[in-house]
Chain A
């Protein structure tokens, strides 16, 4: 049941070298630099996004994800959910308005997988970059690189998937769109949506808490994924795997790494989900095909290379 959470709002990613990272996320992915703050953080967005930013980069001495945030319909929803998160037993931190530039107060909580998430309702809206919303053209000129259209989802690795599903489904109103089930009946992967997208957040079971697998950005077509691969070769950027197709969600994809070793994905296509749909289930024996539909085999990197 929907609880007023709308969509992924932003992700804050730690990088080892800010200049290299900004070059990667803007020149190669095609995000647009929107702002910087006095802590040196850099704010970026993809061109179709209406809110001011969706990716925040922070320089640190180890890479990974600081937090991922979801935007809610209203401040009342945030208040309501804050109470429910506390009742669920989550550790909660109130982050004041303005801590991220042009963003309202956020309620941060730690999921049972060890990851920090946030909910918020207020962020400055600068409109779709270069086109606006009044007689808009099809797309703006002057986009760089892969021309990523939106920040789409993250895949995170950690323990306690059952409790995390309960939290996201019962408290925050996400649906379980796809899952991978081990022979002993244990769910080892869960893809959750709060929209009709195939996933807004995904988790894979892993003993170590709080690990970051990838942040993913949406492209329009398979041809765009191939051109993204061309750009990765042109810039000698570290490719993980692809271009290929996922079995899970059936998106067409390529995985690669930012200069600090954080994995990124760009993808096109894929399935959709409505609340009355049963979850799609993959057997763990078919995990290779579920992850990489053509190779039908997992590479060791997919399971163990994390930040």
Chain B
């Protein structure tokens, strides 16, 4: 499941699989262990924490959006609607699709529901 693609802007730290990395969520102060190769959201869920909202777990719904404040990671495929290139450039990514390469500090601000509606798009173009 968690097959990480190298993220465009981050270099691969080359850590061996199976190593534990520490992820800290800044707003709640909660911190949890994440195996390299495991998504941040999955590691959080496994340890019973709720500091990031859990949606589809597939990079599609944007529910688990976080900002990475420090550390290196690789990313899997994420919906461009929720992570356009500008957001990725600012390390605004989806916790279900990032895989730590070093210890990470992330921040998950509670989303205003209205904010999700501003990004309107139509699905009628280029659908073939």
Is B55 in contact with A208, judged by CB distance below 8 angstroms? no
Which residues of A sit under 8 angstroms from B116, Cβ to Cβ?
A: 208, 304
Contact residues of A between 54 and 94, Cβ < 8 Å to B? 58, 61-67
Is A17 in contact with B127, judged by CB distance below 8 angstroms? no
Q: What is the minimal beta-carbon distance from A256 to any residue of chain B, in angstroms? A: 9
Which residues of B sit under 8 angstroms from A236, Cβ to Cβ?
A: 1
Which listed residue (B58, B120, B127) contacts A257, Cβ 8 A?
B58
Is A238 in contact with B123, judged by CB distance below 8 angstroms? no
Contact residues of B between 27 and 81, Cβ < 8 Å to A? 53-61, 63, 77-81
Is A262 in contact with B60, judged by CB distance below 8 angstroms? yes
- The interface bits of chain A over 279-307 (1 if a CB of B lies within 8 angstroms of the residue's CB, else 0) are 00000000000000000000011001111
Is A260 in contact with B59, judged by CB distance below 8 angstroms? yes
Contact residues of A between 1 and 36, Cβ < 8 Å to B? 12, 14, 16-17
Is B60 in contact with A261, judged by CB distance below 8 angstroms? yes
Q: What is the minimal beta-carbon distance from A160 to any residue of chain B, in angstroms? A: 14
**B80 to A, closest residue via Cβ:** A61
Which residues of B sit under 8 angstroms from A306, Cβ to Cβ?
A: 61
Which residues of B sit under 8 angstroms from A39, Cβ to Cβ?
A: 128
With known contacts A66-B127, A116-B127, A305-B63, A209–B57 Cβ distance under 8 A: no
Is B56 in contact with A238, judged by CB distance below 8 angstroms? yes
Task: Indicate if A220 sits at the interface (CB-CB under 8 A).
Answer: no
Is A257 in contact with B56, judged by CB distance below 8 angstroms? yes
Q: What is the minimal beta-carbon distance from A103 to any residue of chain B, in angstroms? A: 12
Q: What is the minimal beta-carbon distance from A306 to any residue of chain B, in angstroms? A: 6
Residue of B58, B77, B117, B128 most packed against chain A (CB within 10 A): B58
Task: Indicate if A258 sits at the interface (CB-CB under 8 A).
Answer: yes
Task: Indicate if A110 sits at the interface (CB-CB under 8 A).
Answer: yes
Q: How far is the CA of A118 from the CA of B78 in the complex (A)?
A: 28
Is A16 in contact with B60, judged by CB distance below 8 angstroms? yes
Is A260 in contact with B60, judged by CB distance below 8 angstroms? yes
Is A16 in contact with B122, judged by CB distance below 8 angstroms? no
Tell me the interface secondary structure of chain B in the complex.
loop
Task: Indicate if A162 sits at the interface (CB-CB under 8 A).
Answer: no
A interface residue count range (under 10 / 10 to 19 / 20 to 34 / 35 or more): 35 or more
Q: What is the minimal beta-carbon distance from A110 to any residue of chain B, in angstroms? A: 6
With known contacts A39-B128, A305-B55, A305-B56, A261–B120 Cβ distance under 8 A: no
Q: How far is the CA of A95 from the CA of B124 in the complex (A)?
A: 13
Is A261 in contact with B123, judged by CB distance below 8 angstroms? no
With known contacts A16-B77, A62-B80, A114–B59 Cβ distance under 8 A: no
Residue of B56, B80, B81, B122 most packed against chain A (CB within 10 A): B56
Q: How far is the CA of A196 from the CA of B81 in the complex (A)?
A: 37
Task: Indicate if A99 sits at the interface (CB-CB under 8 A).
Answer: yes
Is B120 in contact with A16, judged by CB distance below 8 angstroms? no
With known contacts A238-B57, A259-B58, A304–B127 Cβ distance under 8 A: no
Task: Indicate if A263 sits at the interface (CB-CB under 8 A).
Answer: yes
Q: How far is the CA of A305 from the CA of B53 in the complex (A)?
A: 10
- Name B residues whose Cβ lies closer than 8 Å to a Cβ of A: 1, 53-61, 63, 77-82, 113, 116-117, 120-124, 127-128
A-B pairs, top 5 by smallest CB distance, nearest first, are A261-B60, A261-B56, A261-B58, A238-B57, A66-B127
Listed A/B pairs (26) with beta-carbon separation below 8 Å: A16-B77, A16-B79, A61-B80, A62-B79, A62-B82, A63-B58, A64-B60, A65-B123, A66-B123, A66-B127, A110-B124, A114-B122, A116-B123, A207-B117, A210-B123, A210-B124, A238-B56, A257-B56, A257-B57, A257-B60, A260-B77, A261-B60, A261-B61, A262-B58, A300-B53, A304-B55
Given contacts A62-B60, A115-B123, 9 further A-B contacts (CB under 8 A): A16-B60, A66-B123, A66-B127, A110-B124, A114-B122, A257-B60, A259-B1, A261-B59, A261-B79
